[in-house]
Structure 1
Amino acid sequence: MSKPMGGGASESQFWRNYQNILVQKQVNPQHFQWYVKWCQQFTKFIGALPLMDCQPAHVSVFLDNLKSSKAIEEWQYRQARTALWYLFRDYLKISWAADGQRNRAVPQYPSRPPALSEAHQATLRKLRSTLVGRQYAKRTVGAYLDWATRFLGYYPHRNIADLDAAAVRAYLSDLAETHNVAVNTQKQALNALVFLFQESEKIPLGDFSDFARARKPIKVPVVLSRDEVSALLRELPSPLSLMGNLLYGGGMRLMEVIRLRIKDVDFALGQIVVRDGKGRKDRITMLPEICLDPLKQQIAEARLIHAQDLAKNYGEVWLPSALIKKYPGAARDWRWQYVFPASRMSVDPESGKVRRHHFDESAVQRAVREAARQIGLSKTVTPHTLRHSFATHLLESGYDIRTVQELLGHADVATTMIYTHVLSRPGIGVRSPLDVV
């Protein structure tokens, strides 16, 4: 049985059946909506993990998170615990919640029909297996699967073996002409479909470059002045201020900062090793001196959190499958832990294990936007703006563009050249006629 997801009659029936259990247990009907609310919050917490596959650890961590929240009263915690008890013991009849009962039967309710045929579902499973086997990043796996799903849904009555370069060309042209997608969106779809056919299905596509291409707008990056950067970073609270310093001081991308592991910070050499950056490339960038003490303190806090997790029999960080095989004990080693760990543990949607993930990138994005608003900046500021400012200010200081290219991790110097368009002293040396009158 899969856990209820999304809307539809099946989910409604599931919760009606759960409420019937509450009636049998003589729960006050006025409290039904709250019992359902706590259970639905739990299903959101475990993500894609089916309810029938949950273990006591999942419930324990969920309840621990509630108990540690200042917004949750003790009576709410007890109510949530009771709601989950009724869900697992009395409704789902799971053995570990039913005092040793082995009956895992559950009331049946109609499931939502799949959006794709079984043949297409098998194609997606094969694609996922290939991506994971090639050790692609989780986000890349998700993005490629999403585009493959959209593409197969575009041809619902044709098997993958019946599709060819003409089908890919038609779909990519439709993205540009009908949906007006951005050029990078179309490029990602192209990469996903090429991988689907040529790597997963071993179907050569040949040349299909004559599809309608999305137009790439000419844009210059938003860059802050040095004073604006200083004011913005002062406005950020800890540890977000340290993250901001690394974004600007080392030219790192947001995900590179929050995925930074303790072992990749080299205090002796004053550098940071960026692992598996964009394009699956490693690179080295500088560690600003102003970050040394705050970073040492942050690592000490991360180690303390890790020690506390180990004491609770957790503390296993996510690692790529190849590294787990090569270094079996690395997942519990403090050196492999994230420098910026999440405040709470969560459930890994793939393995179902309880882990402490890295800091949430959306929290950094919100904090940077709020800081920009507080200091009165009219520019649209994101964490990536600090990386743009890093590159521009280095070029202003006279560093050559090849050095900046290496620090940013750009494959092509043409990508780095965009920053020459926003320098405060353009190379053409033209003054406005208004200034010479």
Structure 2
Amino acid sequence: MPSYPSKVNEKSKFRPTSIRLMDQVREVLRYHHYGRKTELAYVRWIKGYIYFHHKQHPKDMGKHEIEAYLSDLAVNQNVAVSTQNQAFNALLFLYKQVLDLPFTDDISAIRSKKRVRLPVVLSVKEVGLIFDSLRGDHLLMARIMYGGGLRLMELLRLRVQDIDFANGYLSIRTGKGDKDRTTLLPVSVRDELRQHLLKVRGMFETDLCEGHANVWLPGALAKKYPSAPKSWEWQYVFPSKSLSKDPQSGEIRRHHVNESGLQKAIRSARSKADINKRVTTHTLRHSFATHLLESGTNIRVVQKLLGHADVKTTEIYTHVLQQNLGAVVSPLDSLQSPGG
């Protein structure tokens, strides 16, 4: 028995049903509590798959069409391994969770080539120059990212209860791979962070008085703790200055700040500091890991702080360590000068 139904109608144009199918995809994604960004990505890949095969309905396609689409991503679009894997997972979700059709395990698409790319790392001095060019909340956010090796969204999704001032660490909830971990809360930011939380508390108290105190929680938690969205400990550490309408539930909430604000501030700071490297928010995380290894921190400790499942992922930073190059003489400099 084939893993997929055979093509029933080669001329299926997937017109009026396309909207209904994508609505169904979104509904099932939300039922399983997938994140907003995952929903957008899965919808994009599923639409790409459908349009690649001239708008045929997925139920009329199978293993051959999936392999052709994934192979095209690798060969013609030159996507990264992780990108191709995400497209595969989107189609897996479509067939198993939405269409309730069997999905074979022997997909033999051409695989993307895994490229080893060294991360861009700032020197300690360059990190200082970046910080000198930042102000206000953006400076505090950047210092916390560098001080604890956080990803951008991990920083923005921090809740008040995730900060442990007494023990000096941050709890990262549902990080990459849906994993929890703890990382460092630098001593040098604690007083500033306390002052920041006083301002956030004032904003929260105002929302509470005006009946707008409401923060997003994952579906299961929202049902289990119905009063939690109005509790101080569940509020975001870096909330938006304005209320917004939740695109899924329609509720009015105060979400965390938009990621673009810090991203733009970092780019501007790089320019002001005249640093000729491609610097992003993630560069602070790369620099955190590299500087810890340079200071002699055990790589297993760095792995744990970063939340890497495999130490091989952490080992990439050993390739960009500042080695003791001052004592190394280039072979060019060893040559006698002409006429010498």
By the TM > 0.5 criterion, same fold?
yes
1:73 counterpart residue number: none
Q: Which amino acid aligns with 2:251?
A: K
1:128 counterpart residue number: 26
1:368-387 alpha-carbon deviations (Å, 9 max, x no partner) = 01111111101111110000
Q: Which amino acid aligns with 1:148?
A: I
Q: Give, in whole Å, the separation in 1 of the partners of 2:245 and 2:55.
A: 36
1:163-183 alpha-carbon deviations (Å, 9 max, x no partner) = 212111111112223333333
2:103 counterpart residue number: 205
Between Structure 1 and Structure 2, how many residues are aligned?
322
8 Å CA contact 1:273–1:285 kept in 2: the answer is: yes
Q: Which amino acid aligns with 2:25?
A: L
Q: Which runs of 4+ in 1 moved over 6 A?
A: none
Structure 1 residue 134: Cα displacement: 2.1
Residues 178 and 259 of structure 1, relative CA distance in 2, 3 Å threshold: same
8 Å CA contact 1:116–1:153 kept in 2: the answer is: no
- Secondary structure class of the residue paired with 1:285: strand
Structure 1 residue 251: Cα displacement: 0.2
Q: Give, in whole Å, the separation in 2 of the partners of 1:307 and 1:436.
A: 70
2:338 counterpart residue number: none
- Secondary structure class of the residue paired with 2:29: helix
Q: Give, in whole Å, the separation in 2 of the partners of 1:384 and 1:118.
A: 42
Residues 233 and 120 of structure 1, relative CA distance in 2, 3 Å threshold: same
8 Å CA contact 1:420–1:426 kept in 2: the answer is: no
Structure of greater relative contact order (alpha carbons < 8 Å, 6+ residues apart): 2
1:326 counterpart residue number: 224
1:256 aligns with 2:157: no
1:146 aligns with 2:50: no
Q: Which amino acid aligns with 1:252?
A: L
1:165 aligns with 2:96: no
Structure 1 residue 426: Cα displacement: 7.4
Q: Give, in whole Å, the separation in 1 of the partners of 2:242 and 2:332.
A: 57
Structure 1 residue 300: Cα displacement: 1.2
5+ long unaligned stretches in structure 2: 1-12, 336-340
1:220 aligns with 2:125: no
The counterpart of 1:417, out of the listed 302, 315, 322, is: 315
TM-score between the two structures when normalised by the length of structure 2: 0.88
Is the radius of gyration larger for structure 1 or structure 2?
A: 1
Q: Which amino acid aligns with 2:96?
A: Q
1:353-409 alpha-carbon deviations (Å, 9 max, x no partner) = 222111111110110011111111011111100000000011111112111111111
1:263-318 alpha-carbon deviations (Å, 9 max, x no partner) = 11111111100011111111100110011011111111111111111222212111
* 1:239-388 equivalence runs, <5 A: 239-388=137-286
Q: Which amino acid aligns with 2:142?
A: G
1:117 aligns with 2:36: no
1:70 counterpart residue number: none
8 Å CA contact 2:25–2:94 kept in 1: the answer is: yes
1:57-108 alpha-carbon deviations (Å, 9 max, x no partner) = xxxxxxxxxxxxxxxxxxxxxxxxxxxxxxxxxxxxxxxxxxxxxxxxxxxx
8 Å CA contact 2:14–2:55 kept in 1: the answer is: no
- Secondary structure class of the residue paired with 2:136: coil
* 1:395-434 equivalence runs, <5 A: 395-425=293-323, 432-434=330-332
Q: Which amino acid aligns with 1:133?
A: Y
1:155 aligns with 2:36: no
Q: Give, in whole Å, the separation in 2 of the partners of 1:275 and 1:183.
A: 26
* 1:45-84 equivalence runs, <5 A: none
8 Å CA contact 2:131–2:139 kept in 1: the answer is: yes
Structure 1 residue 346: Cα displacement: 1.6
Structure 1 residue 157: Cα displacement: 4.9
- Secondary structure class of the residue paired with 2:304: helix
State the identity %.
Answer: 46
- Secondary structure class of the residue paired with 1:273: strand
The more displaced of 239-248 and 138-147 is 138-147
8 Å CA contact 1:392–1:423 kept in 2: the answer is: yes
The more displaced of 203-212 and 304-313 is 203-212
Q: What root-mean-square deviation, in Å, do the aligned CA atoms of Structure 1 and Structure 2 show?
A: 2.1
Q: Give, in whole Å, the separation in 1 of the partners of 2:117 and 2:236.
A: 34
8 Å CA contact 2:14–2:57 kept in 1: the answer is: no
1:87-134 alpha-carbon deviations (Å, 9 max, x no partner) = xxxxxxxxxxxxxxxxxxxxxxxxxxxx95343333333332332222
Q: Give, in whole Å, the separation in 2 of the partners of 1:360 and 1:116.
A: 36
Structure 1 residue 432: Cα displacement: 3.2
Residues 426 and 405 of structure 1, relative CA distance in 2, 3 Å threshold: farther
Q: Give, in whole Å, the separation in 1 of the partners of 2:63 and 2:307.
A: 33
Residues 123 and 434 of structure 1, relative CA distance in 2, 3 Å threshold: same
8 Å CA contact 2:14–2:56 kept in 1: the answer is: no
8 Å CA contact 1:220–1:422 kept in 2: the answer is: yes
Q: Give, in whole Å, the separation in 2 of the partners of 1:223 and 1:244.
A: 15
Residues 340 and 132 of structure 1, relative CA distance in 2, 3 Å threshold: same
Q: Give, in whole Å, the separation in 2 of the partners of 1:431 and 1:416.
A: 29
1:194 counterpart residue number: 92
Q: Give, in whole Å, the separation in 2 of the partners of 1:182 and 1:206.
A: 23
- Secondary structure class of the residue paired with 1:239: helix
1:390 counterpart residue number: 288
8 Å CA contact 1:123–1:160 kept in 2: the answer is: no
8 Å CA contact 1:271–1:285 kept in 2: the answer is: yes
Structure 1 residue 343: Cα displacement: 1.4
1:316-368 alpha-carbon deviations (Å, 9 max, x no partner) = 11111111101000111111111111111122111222221111111101100
